[in-house]
Structure 1
Amino acid sequence: MDKSDLFVKGWPDDMQFLNFSLEAPLAYASCGEFTAELGWQHHRYQHETDTEILVGLSGQVFLQVSGETFTLEAGDVLTVFPHETIQGTRQTVTPSTFFWLHVVAPATVTAQPAANALTLPRFFHLQAQEKAVVNIHQLLDVSHSHYLVPRAADYQATMLFIELANDAAQQRAASPSHQGISNLVREWIRTHMAEPLTVTAIADRFHLNASYLTRIFKRATGMSIQEYISSVRLDYARYLLLTTSEPVAAVARQAFFNDPKYFSRLFKKKLQLTPSQYRQAYTHTFLNNQQVDPGVDVAAQVAQLENKQR
């Protein structure tokens, strides 16, 4: 599979895969469903020979594994390989829930899925979330019950891994769609909004023709790529206006607008309020919140903040 196929089908060319042998079930170690309250942050944890998977169930959890950052949301699956370190990058901004599971089994890390192996990508989003959730609940039940069958939890944990691996494999084999490409581009823009983005640069990143990308993005989203970039940065600016006391010019710079005057004009055009009027309209802002990591999808958070300030 060449790089263009890899991107179109949703797998970055630097993706890593963890591969397990199918000759024996994985050895179950522990699992649970964790609810993170507002302001929770994952502690630093160094893995030994165990593998951990985290499946997002609700909210957002901000994590780092081996120097790479991830935002775990509902339907996302993150694989932590043996001997790696996982830690939180910032506190949760909304109550969040995720499932975690540790297993022990020999595994190899590759840049491509291995043949005849149970393979999990480093990070992906489930297509069939309901099936995975059913398997999660079954494993939670088995792991907390007494079974006469030896290694019942091992087999149930292996079945969950198989379900996740199958979902990922089906996505890799799926034919590309305009909506799928647009979703990938939107997510990439969100996580790179601090960069000087252009349509050509984004198209090159996904190994696509710029005119083709422009057409399918407009068709799928109803807006141009540049309009979407501006909307993502405006969402971030709105969040900063609601959660900090920084001057408007400073907010503009932090939201990656080089020209504060242009920022103010665009802000008023989109929201029918100047940045200062917007801030004043929500007088009970809560300050001193930790700064949002560039790339975090803050649109829903802004809506929650606006509602709370009314």
Structure 2
Amino acid sequence: MNVITCFDIREPVLHISSGKFTAGIHWKHKHMYHDGNFEIIIMIKGTIYLQVDNQHYTVQEGEIFALPPYHHLHGYKESPKDTQYFWFHFFTKPHGLKSLKIDKYDNKKIQSFFKKEQAVLPLQSKMPSLEKVFILSNQILDVAKNNYFTSMSVDYLLTTLIIELSENYYKSLLGTPISEEEARIDGIKEWIRANLSEKLKVSEVADAFDLNPHYLVRIFKQQANQTVIQYINRLKLQQAKELLLRTNLPIKQIASMSFYPDEKRFMKVFKENLFLTPSEFRHAYTKKFLDSSKFDPEVPITKDTENYRNRFE
């Protein structure tokens, strides 16, 4: 069975706390009870081992764990050192969510819950793309720490993140059959991802699949709506953006790890595509925010706050 939660998004959720956590040696999640609050965990790297009531879950890099209220949560096993994830605690309005158990293969049933005013998340899912989710997560942490004139600024951003995760889940459910050509291009894309390098050329990709380079360029453009070179460059930029957001590495090292020949070339390409320098991009999202290593999960989260009363009572 698959646990899914439906969120009423006619008004934003109420952000409680959030952060980005990095595990030390011998770390495992402390016990906490979700007394009315919802938690979303977005894995950046590593693995966490969570026990929800009496059920064990392994949550790995690139996965989302969306835990509804009224469950006990703790780690049943130590995580690898430097495991890292974003976490978000929030309330919805009274009766603003419902959790259901649905046959995980009944995609049509699950799809029926997606509505204009309702987002849907499963307990555990895989992210098809990290870029948008990481940027939104960092925006939330940045805004939450900057004391905007209205606390609803972070509430709206967090609701946007929920909608983005829900959209990703919805697309994964569609499961439309792909043609032989689409399957072939998907395989080529995966090969490019695995073999990305500073000097990767179209001819090398074509040779790996025993294709004529001109034929590869034509079918790739038809199926992917971009050229092979555009796809390679997009992967490099995506790698660079993730490293800028996830690490404090120097720009020169990020250029190298993103397969650019030198720092100057990297900065030129980045500015042309993002209209920001790498440093400007990083600084837009990396102001200091609450790190959950300083957040004690055993401290109860309560609805008895001024924000909650002003919004929902």
TM-score (norm 2): 0.51
The answer to whether the 8 A contact 2:45-2:84 is kept is yes
**RMSD of aligned residue pairs (Cα, Å):** 1.8
Hey, what's the Cα distance between the residues in 2 that align with 1:41 and 1:150?
32
1:105-138 Cα shifts (integer Å, max 9, x gaps)? 1210123432421111010010011110011000
The answer to whether the 8 A contact 2:43-2:84 is kept is yes
User: 1:61: which partner in 2?
Assistant: 48
User: 1:169: which partner in 2?
Assistant: 170
The count of residues paired between Structure 1 and Structure 2 equals: 166
User: 1:156: which partner in 2?
Assistant: 157
After TM superposition, the structure 1 = structure 2 runs for residues 125-274 of structure 1, keeping only pairs within 5 Å, are 125-175=126-176
1:204-238 Cα shifts (integer Å, max 9, x gaps)? xxxxxxxxxxxxxxxxxxxxxxxxxxxxxxxxxxx
Which secondary structure state, in structure 1, belongs to the residue aligned with residue 77 of structure 2? Answer: coil
Hey, what's the Cα distance between the residues in 2 that align with 1:99 and 1:93?
16
User: 1:49: which partner in 2?
Assistant: 36
- 1:175 Cα shift? 2.2
Range that drifts further, 139-148 or 170-179: 170-179
User: 1:70: which partner in 2?
Assistant: 57
Q: 1:38 to 1:124 in 2, by over 3 A?
A: same
The answer to whether the 8 A contact 1:80-1:86 is kept is no
Task: Report percent identity of matched pairs.
Answer: 24
- Give the counterpart of 1:35 among 22, 28, 33: 22
User: 1:228: which partner in 2?
Assistant: none
User: 2:124: which partner in 1?
Assistant: 123
User: 2:66: which partner in 1?
Assistant: 79
* 2:112 equivalent to 1:111: no
Where does structure 1 differ by over 4 angstroms across 4 or more consecutive aligned residues? 176-179
Hey, what's the Cα distance between the residues in 2 that align with 1:132 and 1:66?
28
Q: 1:48 to 1:71 in 2, by over 3 A?
A: same
1:70-95 Cα shifts (integer Å, max 9, x gaps)? 22221110011111111101112332
- 1:173 Cα shift? 1.1
Hey, what's the Cα distance between the residues in 2 that align with 1:16 and 1:176?
25
User: 1:236: which partner in 2?
Assistant: none
- 1:41 Cα shift? 0.8
1:10-37 Cα shifts (integer Å, max 9, x gaps)? xxxx111011112111111110001111
- Give the counterpart of 1:93 among 53, 56, 80: 80
Q: 1:31 to 1:150 in 2, by over 3 A?
A: closer
- 1:176 Cα shift? 5.1
**Amino acid paired to 1:24:** E
- 1:174 Cα shift? 2.9
1:213-266 Cα shifts (integer Å, max 9, x gaps)? xxxxxxxxxxxxxxxxxxxxxxxxxxxxxxxxxxxxxxxxxxxxxxxxxxxxxx
Q: 1:160 to 1:172 in 2, by over 3 A?
A: same
**Amino acid paired to 2:100:** T
Q: Where does structure 1 lack aligned partners over 5 or more consecutive residues? A: 1-13, 180-310
Hey, what's the Cα distance between the residues in 2 that align with 1:159 and 1:122?
18
Hey, what's the Cα distance between the residues in 2 that align with 1:167 and 1:137?
18
**Amino acid paired to 2:134:** V
**Amino acid paired to 1:135:** L
User: 2:261: which partner in 1?
Assistant: none
Which secondary structure state, in structure 2, belongs to the residue aligned with residue 162 of structure 1? Answer: helix
Q: Where does structure 2 lack aligned partners over 5 or more consecutive residues? A: 103-109, 184-313
TM-score (norm 1): 0.51
Which secondary structure state, in structure 2, belongs to the residue aligned with residue 92 of structure 1? Answer: coil
- Give the counterpart of 2:2 among 2, 15, 38: 15
